[in-house]
């Protein structure tokens, strides 16, 4: 059962490429407060930027020096950064945030820079020219130390922050497992690769809500209640989850919003000595990056927002759009599947394949199948409808997972062996072989429920909305509608609201959208690019979640040129 669907970069969580502990997951939204009128329409209110001068009460945070140390992963350094728990009340205490980096490797081997879009000396000159617009503040403010360590002729360009999404995905895990190793060599040569786990996530005072045994129960709860008794059981499950978060997470639970995390990134930017923020954010990371741009447009350097979200939408609109996105992705999978001889959903048509899958889910609702889950911490779980639905959704994030999904469905539907589909579900929830969960889903709910009011005020509202959600997705609509009930019982009132983000005066920002993206529908990228005063839409015609580093030379060259030369497309661009 999803608390809300995570949106995470597929390189952080790739079910088809041998699932590994510590990789990130997928992600969604499910948010809005009881009776709130914004649940029915998106916002035309624009986010206001913060004052350019650093407030005196924050200068100690902006002036802090990070103490880097080895952290057990060869080539990486780690540090702890302090930020105010409550930005409006800085004397209310601190949060400690984990940071990691891998130093720029130096000039790449011959030809690498050119292939990645670098132009040597001109790139350094362009970057220095752009940096002259940076803001110099009071001692310890944003302008401190900017430009140091830069070399002419293809030298260091500064720091490149990365975030894979979530909310709840570990940026440090993504950095150490993929970004600092898998980004183009020319990019890694010119930038210190940096990540900060947002507050409440992984190594940064993580939100916790349940022990592993209770999480197993939580993920198996029926998300398509057939009667009042099952509906009450689902509501009780959400209430227990929320209560557990309140009891276990203490003071931090009310201070894990995206706005607060964006402000944390500005403190990190200053502590790293950069006048402007250079950043690649994927999935939910695009909302984090866009929020930064809205708050600090004058400090925007080179921002890439890949798999973009639309910040003007209400929670219910996001959930409904994402439901449609997963249907689009499933139809693409189904069209591919029915062409294969071994397709477990038949070979008639994609529509028929969807009907067969929905019937299979209904069968599992009545009679789960064995999943061979007898290992440490396994608890003898079976594959029921909730876990099977999550397993299928997990495979929608990356088309490379489709063969694995076909095999998993074949085993479950024909051989009554749910182990492979259960493994996909476990990867989604970041549950390891010992039955231990990361804090992904806890942080996911905590951030989402604070960023926007809940989608529904009651189970009755969900039931009334079912026709709309089932129209968006005959296969997933019912389950995803009920999953959006999770924030209804949240113990902390939402502090955010839907807002357009314009970031007037910001440097060019590349906004990337994939036409058949399941988790962040393409129209969200179109919407964000049109809102941002300097947005440039980069379209990838394809399947899967996000676009950078997924095989399109056109996409990769455009982004690499931007990161290394500072040249964004003058107009919107389309790639295959």
Portion of the chain with pLDDT greater than 90, in percent: 82
Q: How far apart are CA 524 and CA 530, in angstroms?
A: 10
Q: Tokens representing 465? A: 């909305």
pLDDT higher than threshold 60 for residue 110: no
pLDDT band at 44 (very low <50, low <70, confident <90, very high): confident
What is the reported pTM? 0.88
pLDDT band at 104 (very low <50, low <70, confident <90, very high): very high
Q: Tokens representing 89? A: 């009340």
Sequential DSSP letters for 361-394: HHHHHHS-EE----STT-TT-EE-HHHHHHHHHH
Torsion angle of C-alpha atoms 151, 153, 158, 159, degrees rounded to 10: -130
When computed from its CA atoms, the radius of gyration of the chain, rounded to whole angstroms, is 23
Q: Please tell me the number of Cα atoms within 13 Å of 31 on its side-chain side.
A: 29
| Residue 273, number of CB atoms within 10 A of its CB | 17
At residue 187, the pLDDT reads 98
The SS3 of residue 41 is coil
Q: How far apart are CA 285 and CA 447, in angstroms?
A: 12
Q: Which whole-number Å values give the CA distances from 63 to 54, 268, 277, 344, in the listed order?
A: 11, 10, 16, 60
Among 57, 120, 121, smallest CA distance to 92 is for: 57
Summarised one tens digit per residue, pLDDT across range 261-283 is: 999 999 999 999 999 999 999 99
At residue 423, the pLDDT reads 96
pLDDT band at 38 (very low <50, low <70, confident <90, very high): very low
Residue 147: exposure state from Cβ atoms within 10 A (0-12, 13-18, ≥19): middle
How would you write 169-187 as a 3-class SS string? CCHHHHHHHHHHHHCCHHH
Q: How far apart are CA 332 and CA 338, in angstroms?
A: 10
Summarised one tens digit per residue, pLDDT across range 128-184 is: 333 323 222 322 332 323 333 333 347 899 999 999 999 999 999 999 999 999 999
């Amino acid at each position: 059962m999803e608390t809300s669907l995570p949106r995470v970069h597929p390189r952080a969580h790739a079910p088809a490429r041998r699932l590994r502990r510590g990789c990130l997951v997928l992600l969604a939204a499910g948010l809005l407060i009881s009776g709130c009128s914004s649940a029915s329409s998106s916002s035309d209110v624009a986010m206001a930027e913060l004052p350019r001068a650093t407030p005196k009460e924050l200068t100690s945070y902006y002036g802090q020096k990070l103490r880097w140390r080895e952290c057990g992963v060869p080539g990486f350094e780690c540090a702890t950064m302090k930020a105010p728990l409550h930005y409006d009340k800085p004397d209310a205490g601190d949060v400690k945030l984990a940071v990691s980096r891998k130093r720029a490797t130096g000039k790449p081997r011959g030809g690498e820079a050119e292939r990645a879009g670098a132009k040597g000396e001109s790139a350094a000159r362009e970057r220095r020219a752009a940096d002259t617009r940076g803001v110099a503040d009071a001692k310890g403010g944003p302008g401190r130390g900017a430009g140091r360590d830069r070399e002419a002729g293809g030298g260091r360009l500064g720091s490149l922050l990365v975030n894979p999404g979530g909310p709840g995905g570990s940026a440090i895990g993504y950095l150490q497992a993929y970004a600092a190793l898998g980004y183009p060599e020319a990019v890694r040569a010119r930038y210190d690769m940096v990540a900060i786990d947002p507050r409440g996530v992984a190594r940064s005072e993580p939100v916790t809500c349940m022990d592993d045994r209770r999480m197993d129960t939580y993920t198996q709860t029926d998300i398509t209640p057939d009667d009042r008794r099952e509906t009450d059981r689902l509501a009780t499950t959400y209430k227990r989850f929320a209560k557990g978060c309140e009891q276990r997470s203490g003071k931090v639970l009310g201070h894990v919003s995206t706005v607060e995390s964006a402000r944390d990134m500005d403190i990190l930017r200053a502590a790293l000595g950069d006048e402007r923020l250079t950043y690649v954010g994927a999935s939910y990371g695009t909302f984090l990056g866009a929020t930064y741009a809205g708050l600090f447009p004058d400090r925007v350097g080179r921002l890439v927002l890949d798999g973009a979200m639309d910040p003007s939408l209400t929670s219910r609109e996001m959930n409904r759009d994402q439901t449609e996105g997963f249907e689009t992705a499933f139809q693409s999978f189904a069209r591919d599947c029915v062409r294969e001889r071994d397709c477990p959903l038949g070979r008639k048509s994609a529509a028929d394949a969807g009907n067969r899958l929905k019937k299979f889910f209904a069968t599992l609702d009545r009679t789960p199948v064995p999943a061979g889950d007898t290992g440490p911490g396994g608890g003898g779980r079976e594959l029921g409808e909730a876990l099977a639905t999550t397993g299928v959704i997990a495979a929608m994030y990356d088309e490379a997972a489709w063969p694995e999904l076909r095999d998993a469905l074949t085993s479950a539907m024909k051989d009554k062996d749910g182990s492979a589909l259960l493994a996909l579900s476990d990867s989604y929830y970041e549950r390891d072989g010992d039955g231990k969960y990361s804090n992904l889903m806890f942080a996911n709910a905590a951030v989402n429920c604070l960023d926007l009011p809940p989608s529904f005020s009651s189970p009755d509202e969900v039931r009334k909305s079912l026709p709309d959600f089932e129209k968006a997705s005959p296969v997933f609509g019912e389950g995803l509608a009920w999953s959006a009930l999770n924030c209804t019982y949240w113990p902390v009132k939402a502090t955010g609201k839907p807002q357009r983000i314009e970031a007037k005066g910001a440097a060019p920002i590349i906004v990337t959208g994939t036409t058949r993206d399941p988790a962040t529908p393409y129209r969200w990228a179109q919407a964000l690019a049109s809102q941002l005063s300097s947005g440039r839409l980069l379209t990838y015609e394809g399947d899967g979640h996000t676009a950078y580093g997924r095989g399109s030379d056109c996409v990769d060259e455009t982004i690499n040129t931007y990161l290394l030369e500072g040249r964004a497309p003058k107009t919107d661009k389309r790639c295959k």
